[in-house]
Amino acid sequence: MKWTKFKVKTVTEAEDIVISTLYDIGLEGAQIEDKVPLTALEKEQMFVDILPEGPEDDGVAYLSFFVEEREDGSLEVQGERTDAETVLEKVKQELEELRQFCDIGEGTVTVDETEDIDWINNWKQYFHQFYIDDILVIPSWEEKKEEDEGRMVLHIDPGTAFGTGMHETTQLCIRQLRKFVTPETTLLDVGTGSGILAILALMFGAGHAVGTDLDPCAVEAVAQNCEANGITPEQFELLIGNIITDREIQDRVGYECYDIVAANILAEVLVPLTPVIVNQLKKGGIYITSGIIDDREQTVVEAVKAAGLEVLEVTYQGEWVSVTARKP
């Protein structure tokens, strides 16, 4: 399937009005590229593989819109057949009208043709097999090498929304899980994403795992990764919802029934999560956190202690920190 992409160069302040205006003329699938820092809500909903600092916001935004091409090369917008030149002229006309009463910046438009693989699967070229200590992490589109025979293998296809296990925060959690998982372990993985931590805990010998995530896309990602690693639905249960604020999710997860709770999130989320998650831990249960940039270490340590937990260990990789604690 081919698409024609119309890419508008504008300013961040005009993103919403440009998107709304071009949606009104029938364009779809707005893709936003800018350097605006994440909001608190966006950070709360992004659980893994977060870079500590992005580039400085320069006020520039690129907005891409996609129109599906028909077999004869024509386009269809709002049920009417048209062509790229006509759509381009309409886009330019709308932008010029907007320019009369608001700053839209440069307002230039480029037109390109793309296929699904270019903007849905193109990220795969950057993800190759790698090692976490003695564990081989490998995607479905690569083959295991002969020298890796006998090594523990994690088959993982993260999809476009979730992490791969390559990030330092995930590796910190994996090493801590390996220290504490036993055959009797029941694990809760908060912000499970593609299910890496829970799946590896089960591979390490844990008896059962429950994961929670805000993103419904986690359902398919977890199902695919469980199947790839021989994990059955009975071993790993996934719940979609916010365990911090949703009492129903808290009830479904259960209270004082987990030997280990893992949370590879950001410090801003760990602070409100910790006093909630204490209720899910068994007495003597282990709380493994990561996703903490080094200058937020003390913030998380204080939140852990304030919740009545005993800090057992603080570990480091790069500029990231993991705090492991125990419920008395």
CATH number, domain at 106? 3.30.70.260
Determine the pLDDT at residue 47: 42
Determine the pLDDT at residue 142: 80
Co-location of 170 and 266 in the same domain: yes
Cβ partners under 8 Å of residue 298, min gap 6: none
Q: Comparing C-alpha atoms, which of 160, 22, 27 is closest to residue 95?
A: 22
Co-location of 99 and 190 in the same domain: no
Co-location of 237 and 308 in the same domain: yes
**Is 206 inside a domain boundary?**
yes
Co-location of 170 and 288 in the same domain: yes
**Is 199 inside a domain boundary?**
yes
Co-location of 170 and 296 in the same domain: yes
**Distance, CA of 314 to CA of 134 (rounded, Å):** 22
Q: End-to-end CA distance of the chain, in Å? A: 57
Co-location of 233 and 295 in the same domain: yes
**Is 80 inside a domain boundary?**
yes
**Is 137 inside a domain boundary?**
no
Q: How many domains does the chain have?
A: 2
**Is 158 inside a domain boundary?**
no
Sign of CA dihedral 35, 33, 15, 193: negative
Final residue of a structural domain among 90, 120, 150 = 120
Q: Comparing C-alpha atoms, which of 235, 231, 229 is closest to residue 136?
A: 229
Rounded CA Rg of the chain? 23
Co-location of 301 and 177 in the same domain: yes
Final residue of a structural domain among 87, 120, 153 = 120
Determine the pLDDT at residue 204: 96
Q: Which residues are annotated as a binding site?
A: 170, 191, 213, 264
Determine the pLDDT at residue 1: 67
Co-location of 174 and 315 in the same domain: yes
**Distance, CA of 190 to CA of 214 (rounded, Å):** 9
Q: Which residues are annotated as a binding site for S-adenosyl-L-methionine?
A: 170, 191, 213, 264
Co-location of 169 and 116 in the same domain: no
3-state secondary structure the chain: CEEEEEEEEEEHHHHHHHHHHHHHCCCEEEEEECCCCCCHHHHHCCCCCCCCCCCCCCCEEEEEEEEEECCCCCEEECCEEECHHHHHHHHHHHHHHHHCCCCCCCCEEEEEEEEHHHHCCHHHHHCCCEEECCEEEECCCCCCCHHHCCCEEEECCCCCCCCCCCCHHHHHHHHHHHHHCCCCCEEEEECCCCCHHHHHHHHCCCCEEEEEECCCHHHHHHHHHHHHCCCCCCCEEEEECCCCCCHHHHHHHCCCCEEEEEEECCHHHHHHHHHHHCCCEEEEEEEEEEEEEHHHHHHHHHHHHHCCCEEEEEEEECCEEEEEEECC
Domain of residue 197 covers: 165-326
Co-location of 200 and 310 in the same domain: yes
- Could you list the mean pLDDT of each consecutive 10-residue stretch along the chain, which spans 328 residues? 88 88 82 70 46 65 87 84 92 92 91 67 67 85 82 76 69 95 96 91 97 87 91 95 94 97 90 96 97 88 97 92 96
Query: Cβ–Cβ contacts within 10 Å for residue 228, how many?
Result: 17
CATH number at residue 310: 3.40.50.150
